[in-house]
Amino acid sequence: MPVLTDTTIKRAPRKDKPYNLSDERGLFIVINPDGRHYWRLRYTFAGKRNTLSLGVFPDVSLASARLRRDDGRRLIAQGIDPALQRKEEKLAQAEASEQTFRAVAERWRELELAKHANPDTAALVWRRLELNVLPYVGDRPIASIKIADVMLMLDRIRERGADVTARRVKLIIGQVCRFAIRRGLMEHDPTYALRGEKRAKAKSHAAFTKPDDVARLMTAIHGYKGSPIVRGALALSALLFQRPGEIRRMEWSELDLDAAEWSIPIEKMKMRRPHLVPLSEQAIAILRELQPLTGHGLGLKPDAPRYVFPGARSRLRPLSENALRQAMRTLGFSNEEMTPHGFRAMARTMLDEILRFRPDIIEHQLSHEVLDPNGRAYNRTSFLDERRRMMQAWADYLDSLQRGDSKVTPLRAA
């Protein structure tokens, strides 16, 4: 019969020095003076006595400790030292954790991509990884990348209407993963299950992404002859590139013009996370012009929302998206050319391709989820200094286009 019981272990008295209570077949528990209990397995392998740690009681129960003992005994019977195998497994896990997607992709780029593609194609492929993949999973162990991770990255691309890019990025991810499989760094290609996938076509938001078109757009907005509230909403849509609903429902209580910040509360955010938007000098100037028009709150109850862009019929409601769409048509831009949501795609593309800011900084400012190396979402103040510089650079760039200055020096966030 087994010597130990749970009651025996729990009632074991503390002593000045550690002592052992034995079970069967080499299993024993160490009772420490501090009250902690450690499971151990004593065994002989290749003529040498050894001890294997099996965990801490009560996290590892008596029954679980006996199962672990039996597992160790089976390894010994197969000619395997359980302590040595555990060390090798820990070493393999440590090595795997260092094999991040970025590190493996860089080796794939050097050993395969550079050999099988011309320099221009290789640069384009790598740029797609930098923009669409590395900001999200670049610092994670490649073995941890799952199908859901790939689908999330592809859905982000499809949301901006770039279905062709999504398909190409999926192929690139698959090539990197199969490169890792051949080197024993992961077991399965997460893109394999997505082959032949029929996804509903993402809604495409028309947007200008060429400097000449954007210059024409900004000039038209600046010269808009309708409501100054609508003109301000269009201008801030371009400067801040947040979702149209977030722009339209902006409240004065969310703004700190002295700190140059707009704090969007969680209940207004699509991603259900609070978001902080740095304000450029140009954005603050527009808001100060609007403050006498909509910031006083006269006639409103104290707890009523004070919208920066109230509706034409009621100050208790925000400006409608249709009002912005109608203003765009009044300015001469059809829904097939530019929509209120298109300001986001416009900024994302030009900040990346022309001003050359880091994709993860851009994505964070768009309030898309960006994960840290531990797979956790960054908080709302992450990269704040970099985002401040980017937002001011973007506003200055839009001003330069409106002035007709085509000689813009590309910038890059620090």
Which pLDDT tens digits describe the chain residue by residue (414 residues)? 458 888 889 889 999 999 999 988 899 999 999 889 999 999 998 888 999 999 999 888 898 899 999 989 998 888 888 888 888 777 766 665 568 999 999 999 999 998 888 888 888 899 999 999 999 999 888 888 998 899 989 988 888 777 888 889 999 999 999 999 988 888 888 988 787 655 544 445 678 889 999 999 999 999 999 999 999 999 999 999 999 999 999 999 999 999 999 999 888 876 667 889 999 999 999 999 999 998 876 556 666 678 999 988 887 889 988 899 999 999 999 888 898 989 998 998 899 888 988 888 888 898 876 655 444 455 556 788 999 999 999 999 999 999 987 555 555 443
Sheet of 261-264, strands arranged across: 255-256, 261-264, 275-278
**pLDDT for 406:** 57
Q: Nearest Cα to 205, choosing from 172, 237, 167, 239?
A: 237
| pLDDT (0 to 100) of residue 216 | 94
- What pLDDT is recorded for position 209? 85
Q: CA 58, 62, 64 angle in degrees (round to 5)?
A: 95
pLDDT at 197: 59
Q: What is the pLDDT of residue 413?
A: 42
What is residue 52's three-state secondary structure?
strand
In the prediction, which pLDDT does 2 show? 58
Of 95, 163, 94, 107, nearest to 132 by C-alpha is 163
pLDDT at 397: 95
Burial bucket for residue 34 (CB in 10 Å: 0-12, 13-18, 19+):
exposed
| Structural domains of the chain, ranges and CATH numbers in brackets | 6-94 (3.30.160.390), 101-194 (1.10.150.130), 211-403 (1.10.443.10)
The pLDDT value recorded for residue 353 is 84
pLDDT of residue 196: 63
- In the chain, % of residues over pLDDT 90: 44
